[in-house]
Amino acid sequence: MRVWKRLGIGLLTTTMLIGGGMASAQQGPAKEADPFQKLGLSAGQRSKLDTAKKDRMTSLSATQQKVMGIRQKLMALVVDKKASDREIDRVVDEWATADKEALKTETKFYKTIRQVLTQEQLTKLSQDGK
pLDDT tens, residue order, the chain (130 aa) = 555 555 566 655 666 655 555 455 445 555 667 888 888 999 999 999 999 999 999 999 999 999 999 999 999 999 999 999 999 999 999 999 999 999 999 999 999 999 999 999 999 988 876 5
pLDDT score at 127: 86
Q: How many domains does the chain have?
A: 1
**What's the rounded Cα separation, in Å, for the pair 37 and 48?**
14
pLDDT score at 37: 83
Positive or negative CA dihedral for 103, 104, 108, 109? Answer: negative
Q: Which helix (H) or strand (E) holds 41?
A: none
User: Does residue 118 lie in a domain region?
Assistant: yes
pLDDT score at 18: 59
Cβ neighbours around 10 below 10 Å, total: 22
User: Does residue 106 lie in a domain region?
Assistant: yes
What residue numbers bound the domain in which 120 lies?
Answer: 62-130
User: Does residue 37 lie in a domain region?
Assistant: no
User: Does residue 23 lie in a domain region?
Assistant: no
User: Does residue 43 lie in a domain region?
Assistant: no
pLDDT score at 33: 76
pLDDT score at 129: 65
Collect contacts of 41-50 with beta carbons under 8 A, ≥24 apart: 41/121, 45/116, 45/117, 48/112, 48/116, 49/112, 49/113, 49/116
